[in-house]
Amino acid sequence: MIHEILRMGDPRLLQISQPVPDLAAPELKTLVDDMFETMHAASGAGLAAPQIGVPLRLVIFGYSDPEARNARYPDADPVPQTILINPAIEPVSDEMEEGWEGCLSVPGLRGVVPRYSRIRYRGVDLQGRPIDRIVDGFHARVVQHECDHLDGILYPMRVRDFSRFGYTDILFPELADSDD
Ligand code: NI
């Protein structure tokens, strides 16, 4: 089922989400299915459970088809399709880099956000199997963005240079047919 995606200004996006208590709960599988359906319908690169009003530490991101290029991020490196539950992130070094971000909860806008260049992230998937990856580039950016949602942080809260924050169709006319 496709859910409504909460938009910036909704206080539920500012909540600290709770750890997922029970991986075996049948409603968890339904939640994940609904999140993928909702993310794909919106052509997103990732989605966090609180964006559909569920305050749990669960994010999804990436694409099942490595050849697929996300319409909103056509130049991005491929990111494996991932269900990440109860994640923990640590930077591998202090190095930061700037990059453009958008968010399905902030439709129509993009901004440049500083993120750690290289991170290690850990968590479990829906079957409880551990995930432990060291990643960089767009993959690292997506994970940091999505996990921020679990702590009530939206990317505009991390923008430092508001001269590089604006409407997607003005900044990137070539992306004008994407639906945010
Ligand atoms: Ni977002």
Please give the pLDDT value at position 128: 97
Does a structural domain hold residue 36? yes
- Domain annotation covers residue 135: yes
- How far is ligand 1, taken at its centre, from the CA of residue 145, in Å? 6
Q: Is there a domain that residue 49 lies in?
A: yes
State the pLDDT confidence band at 177, using cuts at 50, 70 and 90.
low
In this predicted structure, what is the pLDDT of residue 174? Answer: 86
Yes or no: say if 72 and 40 are a contact pair by the CB < 8 Å rule. Answer: no
Q: What is the CA radius of gyration of the chain?
A: 15
Asked if residues 119 and 177 have their Cβ atoms less than 8 Å apart, the reply is no
- Detail the DSSP E strand segments found in the chain: 46-48, 58-61, 82-91, 96-101, 109-116, 118-124, 130-136, 165-167
- 167 lies in some domain: yes
Residue 52 pLDDT exceeds 60: yes
Ligand 1 center–CA 50 separation, angstroms = 10
| Residue range 130-174, pLDDT digits in tens | 999 999 999 999 999 999 999 999 999 999 999 999 999 999 998
Q: Are 19 and 86 in contact (CB under 8 A)?
A: yes
Active-site residue, 98 included: no
Query: Is 3 a member of any domain?
Result: no
Instruction: Write the pLDDT tens digit of every residue in 59-110.
Output: 999 987 755 656 666 667 789 999 999 999 999 999 999 999 999 999 999 9
Range of the domain at 55: 11-178
Ligand 1 centroid, distance to 155 Cα (angstroms): 7
108 C-alpha to ligand 1 centroid (Å): 12
Compute, in degrees rounded to 10, the torsion defined by CA atoms 32, 142, 41, 13.
Answer: 70
Residue 119 forms part of a structural domain: yes
Provide the number of structural domains found in the chain. Answer: 1
Asked whether residue 62 is assigned to any structural domain, the reply reads yes
Whose structure tokens read 């997922």? 20
* Residue 5 domain flag: no
Spatial distance between the Cα atoms of 66 and 162, rounded to a whole number of angstroms: 33
Query: How much distance in Å is there from the Cα of 156 to the middle of ligand 1?
Result: 10
- Distance (Å, rounded) from C-alpha 102 to C-alpha 6? 14
Residue 72's domain is classified under what CATH number?
3.90.45.10
Question: What is the per-residue pLDDT for 179?
Answer: 47
Among 67, 97, 146, 174, which one carries the catalytic annotation? 146
**pLDDT tens per residue, range 156-165:** 999 999 999 9
Distance 44 CA to ligand 1 centre (A): 9
What is the CA angle 65-71-74, rounded to 5?
A: 85
